[in-house]
Amino acid sequence: MMVWERSLSAGIARLGKGGIDAILLDLYLPDGEGTVCFDEVLLAARSIPIVVLTDRDQEEIARQAVERGAKDRMLKKHIDRYSFGLVLRQILARAASEDALYAERERARVTLNSIGDAVISTDQSGRVTYINPAAEKMTGWSRHEARGRTLTEVFHLLDGDTREPAPNPMELAVQKNQIVGLPHHAVLLRPDGSESAIEDSIAAIHDKDGQITGAVMVFRDVSEARAIELRLSHLAQHDGLTDLPNRTLLTDRLSHSVALAQRHKRQLAVLFIDLDRFKQINDSLGHAVGDKVLRAVAKRLMAVVRGSDTVGRLGGDEFVVVLSEVENAQNAARHAERIHAAVTESIAIAEHDVQITISIGVSIFPDDGEDADTLITCADAAMYHAKENGRNTYQFFTPGMKTPHGALQRL
């Protein structure tokens, strides 16, 4: 059904009653004309498509109306029953399509603004076209500041291992025309100097003809996950009480030291250290004091060795020191004496003054073995003989020593 109104005021009054799908507006009415007329109708019917009617000498006014929001313009003399129906159907179809497109864009906007992942899009030249709130927070750039800037300005990426600037991921996605990910251990640096470990994926954006028009990147902060990963990795390789390398890490480092010693034709020494009568400390003073004694011994061992050496705890009251390079057996003996002197000083724990002694077994590479397990076994055997010879001393491994059954079990 069509409704005709002859004045601007009557038309606006009719709009107030609702039920109008489209408006055909003559810009020159008795009580209003030109853009003023159009603006009043647009204000009264924001969501209704408007087609303006003009004469040839009013084309400029009609063009201005289209710029202000009119859907189309028509010359009055070209209007007939057929053309009017055709234009009306086209306008309504276009309005429905625009409404659907707006709804789709609004859903996308709300989704992108509410998700936890950060999103940045760029045009083909690499300049930022969109950044969602999560990305604003992570990069330290607001959408107004970021828009139009190059991605490298807004997204300052570092290689977490080398601390060098990382390649622009958007450029890589565009060049390869495929989804790409950031390098492992990528770090995002913010303008204030703070940083976050991140992971992401980047993909090129295409137009309807398949041509690349830009790229979009989705990324997230994985700092907490990385920290947990590092912590778990550390716990898997270190003793929980003393934080020294455990058997796994100790053996790995010893194997590495053996490989270097072989390559450079050097000697190294392994010292197997056991606290004498440690069970008596636990039984008489309690396990809490015993644990403090073990931590004190670990600190003293770390303080007396070189930076290139390794101190590890095998468990209980057993420690191993890897001297990564020794000139000869006498040099290893001096290290053993220095370790013995440092560890056996009395330890003050609460009201207790704990005095301990230690037995040390020493094996030398390559004389006593050429792999980590053999060297530890031989040093353990030498320590066992030191205990048999009165404790509180050190003993070098000799070929005549028999490896004790207990040593084999400890390995």
Residue 100 C-beta-side C-alpha neighbours within 13 Å: 6
d(CA 337, CA 333): 6
**Residue 393: strand, helix, or coil:** coil
Q: Tokens 């790409």 appear where?
A: 180
Please give the single-letter amino acid code of residue 188: L
DSSP for residue 411? -
d(CA 250, CA 253): 5
CA 325 to each of CA 38, 174, 337, 354, 386: distance values in angstroms, whole numbers, following the listed order:
91, 52, 16, 33, 23
CA 113 to each of CA 134, 156, 199: distance values in angstroms, whole numbers, following the listed order:
7, 22, 19
One of 200, 309, 317, 380 is an active-site residue; which one?
A: 317
200 an active-site residue?
no
For the residues of 183-223, what is the DSSP string, one character each?
A: PTTEEEEPTTS-EEEEEEEEEEEE-TTS-EEEEEEEEEE-H
- Residue of 344, 347, 301 lying closest to 320 (CA atoms): 301
| CA 65 to chain centroid | 51
Question: In this structure, what are the phi and psi dihedrals at residue 11, rounded to the nearest 5 degrees?
Answer: -65, -45
Known catalytic residues are: 317
